[in-house]
């Protein structure tokens, strides 16, 4: 059977990661837009990779199961990369929670049932989850442990408790990190690992949408005043993911890696404070 790399979200970060881990494996590229998946497959194929597109909506359990049925018919899933999501400038509150929060939780749950022994996964979260004020231990546990189909019914996620799309995004990304922690216990029972990376501002088409959106000046100020003094690149995220998913990262699971050029540090203790 072929070794499968499963990618959800046909963007620049996902591409940077699978180029590092996909040699000699079959890469299944899934996206809400089949056109986006096909475009990324074209890029991979022209670079010598074995890849195939698939249309999938991560906010639909039926769609996710269809994707996994296809992936498992192709081989054994040994690597999983979730880079799917929408940003605060791209979608309303309900869609952000449905895709970024529920969709990620759904993927972690379903992929965890079929990941191969020795397999590894990475989900892309965000620095935004680290900048939000701390939740109570009880709230964190609810985000981590609530059954997937009950998540969107939590009181803290109801419309009256979500201020705006940025708040929805922050809650989704906080949930991503907590779900990874909880799911790592289940994945470990299969001899597999799952972690998350929380990038800061990475120059991608999604980030450019943010730069040109209503919060564009905020983001430009953020990377100008962070210790690194610049935004990051998808290749830098790819390099970290490659390490964490490799044998060199074999003792790492249930962890989140904040990778934001020091923006969160500056937000709490430097010139971005206040």
Residues in the chain: 274
State the catalytic residue, choosing from 25, 32, 102, 169: 169
Which contacts (CB < 8 Å, 24+ apart) does range 171-174 have? 171/97, 171/101, 171/132, 172/85, 172/96, 172/97, 172/100, 172/101, 172/104, 172/129, 173/100, 173/125, 173/126, 173/128, 173/129, 173/198, 174/129, 174/132, 174/135, 174/140, 174/143
CA 274 – CA 268 distance, rounded (Å): 8
- Judge whether 173 counts as a catalytic residue: yes
Catalytic residue among 25, 32, 102, 173: 173
Catalytic residues: 169, 173
């Amino acid at each position: 059977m072929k070794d499968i790399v499963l990618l959800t979200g046909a963007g620049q970060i996902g591409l940077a990661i699978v180029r590092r881990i996909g040699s000699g494996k079959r890469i299944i590229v899934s996206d809400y837009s089949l056109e986006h998946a096909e475009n990324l497959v074209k890029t991979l194929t022209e670079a010598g990779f074995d890849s195939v597109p698939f249309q999938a909506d991560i906010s639909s359990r039926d769609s996710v199961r269809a994707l996994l049925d296809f992936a498992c018919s192709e081989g054994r899933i040994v690597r999983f990369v979730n880079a799917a999501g929408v940003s605060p400038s791209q979608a309303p509150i309900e869609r952000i929670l449905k895709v970024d929060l529920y969709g990620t939780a759904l993927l972690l749950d379903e992929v965890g049932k079929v990941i191969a022994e020795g397999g590894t996964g990475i989900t892309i979260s965000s620095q935004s989850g680290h900048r939000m004020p701390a939740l109570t231990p009880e709230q964190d546990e609810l985000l981590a442990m609530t059954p997937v189909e009950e998540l969107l019914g939590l009181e803290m996620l109801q419309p009256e408790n979500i201020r705006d799309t940025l708040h929805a995004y922050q809650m989704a990304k906080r949930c991503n990190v907590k779900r990874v922690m909880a799911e790592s216990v289940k994945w470990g029972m299969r001899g597999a690992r799952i972690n998350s990376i929380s990038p800061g501002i990475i120059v991608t088409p999604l980030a450019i949408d943010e730069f040109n959106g209503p919060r564009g000046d905020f983001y430009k100020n953020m990377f100008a005043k962070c210790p690194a003094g610049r935004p990051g690149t998808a290749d830098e995220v790819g390099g970290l993911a490659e390490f964490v998913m490799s044998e060199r990262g074999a003792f790492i699971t249930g962890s989140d890696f904040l990778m934001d050029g020091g923006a969160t540090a500056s937000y709490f203790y430097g010139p971005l404070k206040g």
